[in-house]
Structure 1
Amino acid sequence: MEDLSLSVKNLNKYFYEPQTFHVLKDISFDIKKGEFLALTGKSGSGKSTLLYILSTMDTAYDGSLTINGEVLTGKPQNELAAFRNEHIGFVFQFHYLLPEFSALDNVMLPALKLEKRPVEEIKEKALENLKLLGIEDQALKSASKLSGGQQQRVAIARALINEPAIIMGDEPTGNLDSKNTRIVFDIFRELAAERGQTIIAVTHDDDFADNCDRTLELMDGKLIFQ
């Protein structure tokens, strides 16, 4: 289906140390383009493990993963790395910015690595993203001098720089206060509604999840609600 962003079929995941453990059990679901989806469950339910499989960073699983109509299961690591950089943006609980670099430089990095646009065009796009997130006035400030909320918004701007089809967040508001959590949520909502980007966010925040388009809940490695 052309409107599908991501599809998972019969996904199973095992850990083998210190003993065999069935982490994810026969997971199947589809996500539409432009959908804002929350992935929830108690600690140990398998949600972060699932997210890392969806992101193509974990390839040790059974089943199939398709993103934008392309089957990614079984592809070599170099192809997956190139696919990730171009098609998937990441926002983690911790921002992972380079502290000595400016906000602008941090945002530009994934696009410079992709090498598909001139540097000036990348810089212009990075500034647009910072403006979208309301922190264009912080562009030249080093990341270490920014507040926690500002750093997370820079991380989102960085995730957007290659105009990815999917943005994945692992507790993207976990270190933020309620005001900044709302700002980040509203940004994700706008990206999904106005740009058609798919958002998948692991969260423990019930209010965050309740306001998403849909919630997938994991319990003991099984999908119990979608």
Structure 2
Amino acid sequence: MEKILEARHIDKYFKKPNKFHVLKDINFFIEKGEFASIMGKSGCGKSTLLYILSTMDTDYSGELLIQNDLVTGRNSNELARIRNKHIGFVFQFHYLLPEFSVLENVMIPAKKLGEYSSEQIRENALKKLRNLGIEKLADKKAFNISGGEKQRVAIARALINDPLIIMGDEPTGNLDSYNSDKVFNEFRKLSSEQGLSLLVVTHDEDFAKNTDRIITMEDGKILNSN
């Protein structure tokens, strides 16, 4: 068993307007190739937890480990690099740059990382689009494609640096059931065929029940993670 991500005794307080204990002693881990979902009512701390796990929020107590390396306490430059190299993000809104082509959007995180030449990045981006069955969209402007296509482009962008884990925050929240199923199936393929780990916050029970494990949250605590 290889742990890709682990949270140990994570606590988080909001300080304003009043002190509020939003996450309470969170402990769990995600294994290599595991496809897990986080569920719970609005306000239970799901998205707050995801921002800590993604290293974007560092104001917490406890420990966060990625591939058994402690990342808690690292400086902002180190965290930015860890985030860009090891974590792919898919949000409810795609955050594509509308005037850029699909291919250019997918290439952005790899250019930021700067480990490969532009030509290598371009080839890799085309490969990611091909794997998702949307290579034909490569030269289209992002504003010119459908909502379902935009979300699949966002998945390709999340994959460009070959991350250890994909994190999703309501990635099917703006999609109809047909496109939600397509996104789910792409995630499932990434897990089963490529051994990629996925952790997705969702309100969609149909989506969650088909993942390997549902982590249920309530009032800032994990109730179960079966």
TM-score computed with the length of structure 1 as normaliser: 0.98
Q: Is 1:69–2:68 an aligned residue pair? A: yes
Q: CA deviation at 1:76?
A: 0.6
C-alpha separation in 2, matches of 1:97 and 1:80: 23
Deviations 1:147-193 (A, max 9, x none): 00011111100000000001000000100111111111011111111
CA-atom RMSD in angstroms: 0.7
- Percentage of pairs with the same residue: 60
- Secondary structure of 1:19's match? coil
Q: CA deviation at 1:69?
A: 1.4
Q: CA deviation at 1:133?
A: 1.4
C-alpha separation in 1, matches of 2:127 and 2:81: 24
Q: Is 1:165–2:200 an aligned residue pair? A: no
Q: CA deviation at 1:134?
A: 1.4
- Secondary structure of 2:168's match? strand
Alignment of 1:49-198 (within 5 A): 49-198=48-197
- Secondary structure of 2:215's match? strand
**Higher mean displacement: 47-56 or 132-141:** 132-141
- Secondary structure of 2:65's match? strand
Q: CA deviation at 1:213?
A: 0.3
C-alpha separation in 2, matches of 1:105 and 1:31: 31
- Secondary structure of 2:216's match? strand
Q: CA deviation at 1:94?
A: 0.2
Q: CA deviation at 1:52?
A: 0.3
Deviations 1:29-79 (A, max 9, x none): 111111000011000000000000000000000100001111011111110
Q: CA deviation at 1:80?
A: 0.1
C-alpha separation in 2, matches of 1:179 and 1:129: 22
Alignment of 1:24-39 (within 5 A): 24-39=23-38
C-alpha separation in 1, matches of 2:213 and 2:58: 26
